[in-house]
């Protein structure tokens, strides 16, 4: 390939790509994001929550869920959660550290009703995907 061919390719790309079109589509998407979400829109979103491992499997640190589109929401009521440590406390722990955690359940976005104590373990990756987005509050 000679220098003229590569220039032709870049000129074609410049003609095909119009940055103003991208900006206008981004603005329209942003304006749409300020509206409320229905369950079908949320079902297409990607949502995660912070968790640690326990004898019950992954358990949420608190009840907050972060989604790409809907931003913040909560786990469903009665989801098992860790009550006595925060995301930042666990994040500062070395990976694979075992610690005692107090389990509760989510109630309207808050981890309440302390129940059993369990042995928990911090994993290097603490984000867990939410399987059924239609159950989020």
Domain span holding position 27: 3-33
**Inter-residue contact 67 to 74 (CB < 8 Å):** no
Domain assignment of residue 115, yes or no = yes
Give yes or no: residues 16 and 52 share one domain: no
**DSSP H or E stretch at residue 32:** helix 19-33
Name the token pair of 60: 């949420």
CA distance 20 to 32: 19
Residue carrying structure tokens 């009550």? 83
39-92: pLDDT as tens digits? 555 557 788 889 999 988 899 999 999 888 877 788 999 999 999 999 899 999
- Residue at 38 is within a domain: no
Residue 116 belongs to a domain with what CATH number? 2.30.130.100
Structural domain count of the chain: 2
Asked whether residue 75 falls in the same domain as residue 28, the answer is no
CA torsion 118-55-121-136 (nearest 10°) is -90
pTM: 0.62
């Amino acid at each position: 390939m000679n220098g003229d061919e590569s220039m032709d390719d870049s000129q074609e790309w410049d003609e095909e790509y119009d940055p103003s079109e991208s900006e206008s589509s981004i603005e329209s998407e942003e304006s749409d994001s300020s509206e409320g979400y229905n369950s079908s829109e949320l079902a297409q979103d990607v949502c995660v929550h912070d968790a640690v491992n326990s004898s019950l499997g992954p358990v949420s640190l608190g009840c907050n869920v972060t989604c790409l589109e809907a931003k913040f929401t909560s786990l469903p009521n009665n989801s098992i959660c860790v009550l006595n440590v925060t995301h930042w406390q666990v994040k500062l722990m070395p990976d694979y550290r075992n610690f005692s955690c107090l389990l509760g359940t989510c109630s309207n976005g808050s981890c309440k009703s302390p129940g059993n104590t369990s042995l928990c373990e911090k994993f290097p990756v603490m984000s867990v995907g939410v399987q059924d987005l239609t159950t989020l509050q």
